[in-house]
Protein backbone atom coordinates (compact mmCIF):
# COMPACT_ATOMS: atom_id res chain seq x y z
CA UNK A 1 0.00 0.00 0.00
CA UNK A 2 2.84 2.30 0.78
CA UNK A 3 4.30 3.57 -2.45
CA UNK A 4 7.57 4.36 -0.77
CA UNK A 5 6.96 8.00 -0.08
CA UNK A 6 6.97 8.55 3.70
CA UNK A 7 4.32 10.68 5.43
CA UNK A 8 6.91 13.24 6.47
CA UNK A 9 7.48 14.28 2.88
CA UNK A 10 3.86 15.22 2.48
CA UNK A 11 3.91 17.10 5.76
CA UNK A 12 7.09 18.98 4.86
CA UNK A 13 5.62 19.94 1.51
CA UNK A 14 2.42 21.09 3.21
CA UNK A 15 4.37 23.12 5.76
CA UNK A 16 6.45 24.80 3.08
CA UNK A 17 3.31 25.61 1.11
CA UNK A 18 1.55 26.88 4.22
CA UNK A 19 4.30 29.26 5.25
CA UNK A 20 4.89 30.35 1.69
CA UNK A 21 1.21 31.26 1.68
CA UNK A 22 1.42 33.04 5.01
CA UNK A 23 4.47 34.94 3.87
CA UNK A 24 2.78 35.94 0.65
CA UNK A 25 -0.36 36.96 2.56
CA UNK A 26 1.61 39.21 4.87
CA UNK A 27 4.03 40.80 2.45
CA UNK A 28 2.30 41.16 -0.87
CA UNK A 29 0.47 44.41 -1.54
CA UNK A 30 -1.47 43.28 -4.54
CA UNK A 31 -4.90 41.92 -3.68
CA UNK A 32 -4.79 39.23 -6.36
CA UNK A 33 -1.50 37.92 -5.04
CA UNK A 34 -2.94 37.90 -1.54
CA UNK A 35 -5.84 35.88 -2.81
CA UNK A 36 -3.43 33.46 -4.43
CA UNK A 37 -1.54 33.14 -1.13
CA UNK A 38 -4.78 32.25 0.61
CA UNK A 39 -5.32 29.53 -2.00
CA UNK A 40 -1.85 28.22 -1.24
CA UNK A 41 -2.68 28.00 2.45
CA UNK A 42 -5.91 26.18 1.72
CA UNK A 43 -4.22 23.73 -0.60
CA UNK A 44 -1.53 22.98 1.93
CA UNK A 45 -4.25 22.08 4.35
CA UNK A 46 -5.83 19.89 1.69
CA UNK A 47 -2.59 17.99 1.29
CA UNK A 48 -2.47 17.45 5.05
CA UNK A 49 -6.01 16.12 5.09
CA UNK A 50 -5.38 13.68 2.26
CA UNK A 51 -2.04 12.51 3.61
CA UNK A 52 -3.36 11.84 7.07
CA UNK A 53 -6.41 10.12 5.69
CA UNK A 54 -4.29 7.90 3.50
CA UNK A 55 -1.74 7.00 6.16
CA UNK A 56 -3.78 6.78 9.33
CA UNK A 57 -7.29 5.69 8.26
CA UNK A 58 -6.97 4.19 4.78
CA UNK A 59 -10.46 2.68 4.93
CA UNK A 60 -12.28 5.84 5.67
CA UNK A 61 -13.15 8.71 3.36
CA UNK A 62 -13.72 11.73 5.70
CA UNK A 63 -10.40 13.34 4.72
CA UNK A 64 -11.22 13.08 1.04
CA UNK A 65 -14.64 14.59 1.46
CA UNK A 66 -13.27 17.34 3.64
CA UNK A 67 -10.68 18.34 1.08
CA UNK A 68 -13.36 18.33 -1.62
CA UNK A 69 -15.40 20.56 0.62
CA UNK A 70 -12.43 22.89 1.11
CA UNK A 71 -11.91 23.09 -2.65
CA UNK A 72 -15.56 24.03 -3.13
CA UNK A 73 -15.33 26.68 -0.47
CA UNK A 74 -12.10 28.00 -1.95
CA UNK A 75 -13.69 28.27 -5.37
CA UNK A 76 -16.67 30.22 -4.11
CA UNK A 77 -14.37 32.35 -1.96
CA UNK A 78 -12.30 33.17 -5.03
CA UNK A 79 -15.45 34.20 -6.87
CA UNK A 80 -16.57 36.50 -4.06
CA UNK A 81 -13.08 37.89 -3.45
CA UNK A 82 -12.53 38.71 -7.10
CA UNK A 83 -15.90 40.46 -7.23
CA UNK A 84 -14.83 42.55 -4.25
CA UNK A 85 -11.45 43.27 -5.78
CA UNK A 86 -13.10 44.48 -8.99
CA UNK A 87 -15.32 46.81 -6.99
CA UNK A 88 -12.33 48.13 -5.09
CA UNK A 89 -10.56 48.75 -8.35
CA UNK A 90 -13.51 50.69 -9.68
CA UNK A 91 -13.64 52.76 -6.55
CA UNK A 92 -9.95 53.49 -6.05
CA UNK A 93 -8.47 52.59 -9.45
CA UNK A 94 -5.92 50.49 -7.63
CA UNK A 95 -5.77 47.14 -5.94
CA UNK A 96 -2.89 47.98 -3.70
CA UNK A 97 -4.01 47.26 -0.11
CA UNK A 98 -2.05 50.16 1.38
CA UNK A 99 -4.07 52.66 -0.60
CA UNK A 100 -7.35 51.21 0.58
CA UNK A 101 -7.38 52.60 4.13
CA UNK A 102 -10.41 54.83 4.43
CA UNK A 103 -11.87 52.94 7.37
CA UNK A 104 -9.01 53.45 9.80
CA UNK A 105 -9.49 55.24 13.14
Partner 1 sequence: MINFNYTIWIFLLPFLMFLFLGLAGHKYFPRLSGILGTCGLAVITVLSYITAYKYFFTSEKVDGAYQKIIAFNFTWLQFTDKLHIDIGALLDPISVMMLIVITTVSLMVHIYSLGYMKGEKGFERFFSFLSLFSFSMLGLVLATNIFQMYIFWELVGVSSFLLIGFYYQKPSAVRASKKAFIVTRFADLGFLIGILILSFNTKTFDFITLTNPTGPAIAQGSGIAFLGLSVMTWSMIFVFMGGVGKSAMFPFHIWLPDAMEGPTPVSALIHAATMVVAGVYLVARMFPIYALSAPVALNVVAYVGAFSSLFAAVIACTQTDIKRVLAYSTMSQIGYMMLALGVAGYGGHEGLGYMASMFHLFTHAMFKALLFLGAGAIIHAVHSNYMTEMGGLRKYLPITHITFLIACLTIAGIPPFSGFFSKDEILAAAFHSNKILFAVEYAVAGLTAFYMFRLYFSVFWGKDINYHQTPHEAPATMTIPLIVLAVGCLVSGFIPFNKLVTSDGKILESEIELMIAIPSVLIGLLGIGIAYLMYVKESAIPDKLAATFKYGYKWAYNKFYIDELYLFVTKKIIFRYISDPVAWFDRHVVDATMNGIAGITQGVSFRIRGLQSGQLQKYAFVFITGAIMLAILFIYLWK
- For partner 1, the binding residues (CB under 8 A) are 22, 25-27, 34, 97-98, 101-105
Residue closer to partner 1 by CB (options 20, 97) is 97
| Of the candidates 62, 61, 45, 60, the residue with the CA atom closest to the CA atom of residue 11 | 45
With 0-12 CB in 10 A as exposed, 13-18 as middle and 19+ as buried, what is 31? buried
* Residues sharing a CB contact under 8 Å with residue 65, sequence separation 6 or more, in sequence order: none
Q: Minimal distance in Å, beta carbon 65 to partner 1? A: 26
Residue closer to partner 1 by CB (options 54, 97) is 97
Output the CA–CA distances (angstroms, integers) from residue 4 to 9, 33, 52, 54, 77, in the order listed: 11, 35, 15, 13, 36
Q: Minimal distance in Å, beta carbon 84 to partner 1? A: 12
Residue closer to partner 1 by CB (options 58, 98) is 98
Q: Minimal distance in Å, beta carbon 97 to partner 1? A: 6
Residue closer to partner 1 by CB (options 65, 87) is 87
Rounded CA separation 19/36 (Å): 13
Q: Minimal distance in Å, beta carbon 68 to partner 1? A: 26
Amino acid sequence: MNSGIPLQYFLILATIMFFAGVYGFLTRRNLITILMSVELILNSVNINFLAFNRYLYPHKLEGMFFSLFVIAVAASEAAVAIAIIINIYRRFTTINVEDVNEMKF
